[in-house]
Structure 1
């Protein structure tokens, strides 16, 4: 059951990646095929329900306007083979069918909007806007399947802001929140689009560096460390303690790598803070 659910999710992601134009064309092709099938089938059989399939598909993956266009096309196919003459009853039935198709499209579009909003809220840290731990683990686990096949390295960084509690106690939580947001902006300006950042605690962050060996990750993390060291928010400077683990062969367990990076970060804390500790790991 879990495998089937995973396949469906991946299939839906694949369709979303194709874009509105491709999905609209797919919906149009399905409508045409259904129209031909409707034409070849005796009139006693109604295809009204089946026409909802391309309408629903197009609306979900392409949007409201393409969904409404497909609704009109499906109504035209449905009515062409049933009402050849002009009459009040025929017009009423055609308009009623069009209304039903359009209502389904609009409702499905609204459901998609609500689902996306709920999905965003459940996967995003409300203060900083970066991913939460749940979203981070899902995305990274998916990416690790590719890295494992390619035997490509990756790195995980575990970051903790130094003396953050004292900042909150001395200047208030509002200043602390401002500092967290500035830290996120600093991270975003120094990382690649393929890197993933998540806030996993009050002042703790983790970063995923795909296809990044230890030499490359040292360059990035040292640059981030120096820029964060100079970061200030209304004269509030901060430093960080960081643990970084590089998986050499891409076959490491994610939880284990994060745990090791966390331990390295605490070693930095014990040694005086404001530093980075590095380590390498393998799937074996």
Structure 2
């Protein structure tokens, strides 16, 4: 079972489905057992909302539905056979059961919708609205986490600073709508060319950044080459003058700060610009203060 830092209540969301089902089942049965032992003197109906709300907030909808139906079944059995309730009319028992089931289902549904809304708002707050790359704030947070992880586990990673060449020409000739379309297209091509563990961020304007975990110099060159190739193919098909200048820093030791690292990659990118654009330049950190490897 994987344990992570954070709110312990929400840690169940990171566990396998069978673990989630087992935990919710145990919780419901525990409440049912207490309900049975306390009898009709103390009504625990509302306590069944604890596992229902927990599952609706933290788990997939089928698991939440299972927990809701299990809670209803347990409370029904306790009420009918253990707590001492006696219904003189069948309709009374039926009405109470239908009311409780409806209440449980509505509660579960509302909490699930609330969670999805919160997830959507969190996603929107972390993304660049135009390109659907992550924004600068999230990128710096993720980079800081990666630096800390590198400090603890001594694992290599790389960042890349990408700047589109000839983007002003596209804006001047095609207008801002065409510029926006190209930005979205570039973002899509890059995201399709990287691993799921890699992160693409839009830093602003026509500038992007990449965070490549578990990446040494050889892997970084392979990843950047793949991006260059796919962008070249796409822009040729679009008959667009867009190319990309890239500065890449591969870290074998943690840098002093994420700001310094981004600035270093930015410097490498500008060296490519000054040499004629449409290339990538690589440097190791902390092996040198200037780029030692370059790829045209």
The TM-score range, normalised by the shorter chain, is 0.7 to 0.9
Mapped contact 1:21–1:62 kept (Cα < 8 A): no
Contact kept? 2:193, 2:230, Cα under 8 Å: no
Note closer, same or farther for the CA distance 1:28–1:257 as it changes in structure 2 (3 Å cut): same
1:75 & 1:175 partners in 2: Cα distance?
A: 56
Q: Distance in 2 between matches of 1:11 and 1:43?
A: 30
Mapped partners of 2:283, 2:251: distance in 1: 9
Q: Cα gap change, 1:228/1:75 in structure 2, threshold over 3 Å: closer, same or farther?
A: closer
Aligned to 1:254: 258
* In structure 1, C-alpha distance between the alignment counterparts of 2:65 and 2:157, rounded to whole Å: 45
1:139 aligned residue: 142
Verify: 1:71 aligned to 2:71, yes or no. no
Contact 2:166 2:241 in 1 (8 A): no
Structure 1 equivalent of residue 236 of structure 2: 232
- RMSD, matched Cα: 2.6
| Match runs of 1:256-271 below 5 Å | 256-271=260-275
Unmatched tracts of structure 1, length 5 or more: 1-5
* Of 116, 140, 149, the match for 2:152: 149
Change (3 A) 1:127 1:98: same
Q: Are the equivalent residues in 1 in contact too, given 2:21–2:63 (CA < 8 A)?
A: yes
Q: What is the aligned residue count?
A: 276
Give how far 1:111 is off: 0.5
**TM-score for the superposition, normalised by structure 2:** 0.82
Deviation at residue 102 of structure 1 after TM alignment: 1.5
- Counterpart of 2:290? none
Matched, 1:7 2:6: yes
> 1:33 pairs with 26, 30, 36, which one?
30
1:196-220 CA-to-partner distances (Å, cap 9, x unmatched) read 1111212111001111122331233
Equivalent residue of 1:161, what SS?
strand
Q: Which moved more, 1:231-240 or 1:78-87?
A: 78-87
Deviates more, 1:209-218 or 1:79-88: 79-88
* In 2: Cα distance, 1:11 partner to 1:155 partner: 34
User: Please, which moves more after superposition, 252-261 or 150-159?
Assistant: 252-261
Q: Which residue of 1 aligns with 2:294?
A: none
Superposition deviation, residue 150 in structure 1: 1.6
Question: Which residue of the other structure, out of 17, 21, 24, is the alignment partner of 1:24?
Answer: 21
2:102 is aligned to: 99
1:193 equivalent in alignment to 2:190: no
SS of 1:125's partner is: coil
Report the CA distance shift for 1:35/1:11 in structure 2 as closer, same or farther (over 3 A): closer
User: CA–CA distance in 1 between the matches of 2:168 and 2:245?
Assistant: 14
> 1:64, 1:269 → 2: CA distance?
51
- Cα distance in 1 for partners of 2:218, 2:75 equals 64
